[in-house]
Amino acid sequence: MIVTVGNTKGGVGKTTLALQIAITRALAGRDVWLVDGDRQGTATAAIAARAEAGRQPGIACAQYPDGPTLRGQVQQQRDKWQDIIIDAGGRDSTALRAALVLSDVLLVPFAPRSFDVWALDDMAALVDEARSVRDGLRAYAVMNQADPGEHSADNAEAAAAVAEVAQFGYLKTPLRRRKAFSNASGAGLAVSEMAPRDAKAVAEIDNLVSLLFNIQRIV
């Protein structure tokens, strides 16, 4: 499966989420390729830190911020991997557009802030464009950096607004603001590899990964 984690809005934890998904799948025994489509190369740097620390399993990672190069490389190598996770840059880039045409699933993280919710209109337009040239793209939005409270008004309002965007299925598996996510990702680790272990963070990413990879249709 090819999964793109992307949003034209920056600062929504896109790279952190792509890293967590890729490493979690690798820990489950999958052959995973992480493609860094961002010129900043944050995902590439995190995987390099993982390799330098000697952590296993190793994660294959390549950086292709240029759309035509990303498209060509993924098309050429897609059959070598069970899962390909593409971390697309936080803007409307050629890499993001190429990734959308290649992907089986688009995962759009958003934070419970009004600007983040409004920005989903831009992503919705890109999804429509991708679907005009490729059938079968499934697009989902997930709340990232959610407020910690179980009954947060901001979380509820953002979820309700996003659920109205027809191009996306809304995943009811929010990931809350937790230091474990940023600390683990910066070291190229899954939250399940961190000590001390944040059980709530582990459960949140496990729930999201299970939902993404184990069901064909989300209602």
What domains can you pick out in the chain, each with its CATH number?
A: 2-214 (3.40.50.300)
pLDDT band at 217 (very low <50, low <70, confident <90, very high): very low
pLDDT of residue 218: 45
pLDDT of residue 74: 98
Q: Per-residue b/e over 136-150, b at no fewer than 16 CB within 10 Å?
A: ebbbbbbbbbbbeee
pLDDT of residue 85: 98
pLDDT band at 11 (very low <50, low <70, confident <90, very high): confident
H helix runs in the chain, sequence order: 14-27, 42-52, 67-77, 94-102, 114-133, 153-162, 179-186, 199-214
What percentage of the chain exceeds 90 in pLDDT?
A: 75
User: What is the torsion angle, in degrees rounded to the nearest 10, for the CA atoms of residue 120, residue 123, residue 128 and residue 130?
Assistant: -160
Q: How far apart are CA 54 and CA 48, in angstroms?
A: 10
pLDDT band at 215 (very low <50, low <70, confident <90, very high): low
The model's pTM is 0.93
pLDDT over threshold 80, residue 151: no
pLDDT band at 154 (very low <50, low <70, confident <90, very high): confident
pLDDT of residue 92: 86
Q: What is the pLDDT of residues 19-65, one digit of tens each?
A: 999 999 999 999 999 999 999 999 999 999 999 999 999 999 999 99
pLDDT over threshold 70, residue 164: yes
pLDDT of residue 161: 87
